[in-house]
Amino acid sequence: MCGIVGISHHKEASQMAFLGLYALQHRGEESAGIVTYDGKETHVIKKMGLAVDNFDESNIGKLKGHVAIAHTRYSTTGSNAVKNVQPIVVTHRKRPMAVAHNGNLTNTEELYSRLEEEGAIFQTSMDSEVIVHLLARAANGDLKEWFLKVLAQLKGAFSLIFLVEDTIIGARDPHGFRPLSLGKLGDGYILASESCAFDLMKAEFVREIEPGEVVIIKGNKIESVFLPGASKAVRAHCVFENIYFARPDSHIFGDNVYQVRKRLGAQLAKEHPAKADFVMGIPDSGNYAALGYAQELKMPFEIGMIRNHYIGRTFIQPTQFLREFRVRVKLNPIREMIEGRRVVVVEDSIVRGTTSRNRIAEIREAGAKEIHMRISCPPIISPCFYGIDFPSTRELIAHSKSVQEIADFIKVDSLAYLSLEGMMAVMKTQGDFCTSCFTGKYPLHIPSNADKLILEKQ
């Protein structure tokens, strides 16, 4: 999962790009980069680490130009390394280009092998670099036809923002796996993974980019075209964006994320009520479903754990050691609230089970009399190949354990998950979501050797 931003026709493009990255930092904490174009050349700053650590007043001022694209990364193809920091920047036939990508291609190995046979030399281990080589080979005078020809060769999940000299191009795959929205700021346009980025810039949310749509923005002019066959493609919005990844103040897939999470909690309460003294969520993503759960059952909702906001998102840390460290320091239970009481703990999901087990242990140590855990999505039984770094099936606890076995492992008095049918019932566009992580049924063919580090094993 990554966050991408594009700024067109703005005198402070680099500053706006930074604000966009800051708003989208939850989508990736490994690296961040900004590329601008001043009419003659590109200016680039990209580093490992958080956007707020990588950019300050002095270096943002060096990013000259009225157009910019930016990227904050959470690696799903290619390792967490300097060589893989985006945006990717190249010059082809004296024409500067850059690309920022959110998602995963499913035909990466096929394209990579073909391009290598044709003489391409790769500098990274990301699927995103394949797109740059395809662009270099297909270049022609008509920008629209050029990009349509290249994007039509891609399969899988992609929301993309390109910079080609003073033009910004945004594209979304025909299935619509990952979100991408269009905003307006002054005379210019903005593209961003989520609408919350527009709020920080005080920009107007215009609409979501449609699945299969390509928008070409030059100055204050915008043109929209669609990839061949886009209207016939099965829609497959990632339902996990609504469950966990997207910010609750964002509008994606035609709905507000906060409202979706509350509805998930309310549906969970209908399916699996529990007798307890109060309901609490695991901050922050579990709070919204917990509030919906409590309101549906007319139970008290309390903040039972306090989050250290200087610690990043646990799920998207690249190693188990860092995940476990952050679990210990990220959340602290309020003993005076919990001691001697029966609590319902609402969480958005369980992936490996180790994080939930540690959190439940802390709540138990704070003196909880009973702990009833409720999960606002179905059990995750299959890996994701469309842009979320869910591990292999052997690491997904629900792939091999029953609900009762998971309850025993994390040491709760009871455990229940929201049903697949219940989850889909609260979505506004019920037939438009990818639920493969819950069902093992993938909307697109997955290569048998699919692997996050596949391009490092060539």
Residues designated catalytic: 2
AA identity, residue 331: L
Which amino acid, one-letter code, is at 307?
A: R
Whether the Cβ atoms of residue 177 and residue 387 lie closer than 8 Å to each other: yes
d(C-alpha 406, C-alpha 404), whole Å: 5
